[in-house]
Amino acid sequence: MTLPTLINKSQQMILKNQFKKSYSVLSQALLKSQVDYGSVPLCHYGLNRSVSPPAIGGSYPTSSVECPGFKPILLKNLNIVQTCDYNAYPKGCIPKYKGFDTMAVEQNPDLSEDEALELVGGQPGFFEQKILYEKPAYVLADGTIILDYIFPMLFAVDVNGNKGPNKWGYDLFTFFTAADEKSDLMLIGTTYLVEKGGKTTREMIKDLYNDKK
């Protein structure tokens, strides 16, 4: 292998290990918070589908009424050291990320801007303006960053924080929380848009399970 190829493979392995760590930390914190709460909180999507939550306002059964009470318990268990309720980028909580709107336009040059935006119209909380200036963000003690869409029902995680590449599908991934009347809270990977060459969260999780075989 050439040196650039070796370096690229090494970087991919580092990011994969960081994803594995973040996925584990989030999953464990979710279950611990459920125990602390005393029950499965009404703060999740339903488990009637296996891929991703729908566009906001879509047909998934959802339960959000207990999110205001559950969210601070989860944040405490995640050991948050910095919170930005808005203006997360100017305040230094996050680096400058692309939004789904920006990516949709860049990745679909044959479409008009309006047509490209229709492809991600169901995820406006991940649009660039929302991420950088309007939505909350949280920084963990290890540097991991959480982007709050409807946390903890739907959110994104930068597994290595301010370190590069700060790209969707490389070190930045989207998750949603799901449960039903028979299950604990579960952390599910989405199949949302990623930057060129990146992997969806669902693909990353699948890779982790394949490694165990």
Does the pLDDT of residue 82 top 90, yes or no?
yes
For residue 115, the tally of other CB atoms under 10 A from its CB is 12
Helix (H, G, I), strand (E, B) or coil at 34: helix
Helix (H, G, I), strand (E, B) or coil at 36: helix
* Domain residue ranges in the chain: 16-205
pTM, whole model, 2 decimals?
Answer: 0.89
Average pLDDT estimate for 141-170: 95
Residue 154 CA to residue 60 CA, distance in Å, equals: 13
210: which residues sit within 8 A by CB, 6+ positions away?
none
pLDDT per residue as tens digits for the range 174-200: 999 998 878 899 999 999 999 999 999
Closest CA to 18 of 150, 143, 196: 143
Average pLDDT estimate for 73-79: 96
CB 175 within 8 A of CB 188: yes
For residue 177, what are the β-bridge partners? 187
pLDDT at 22: 96
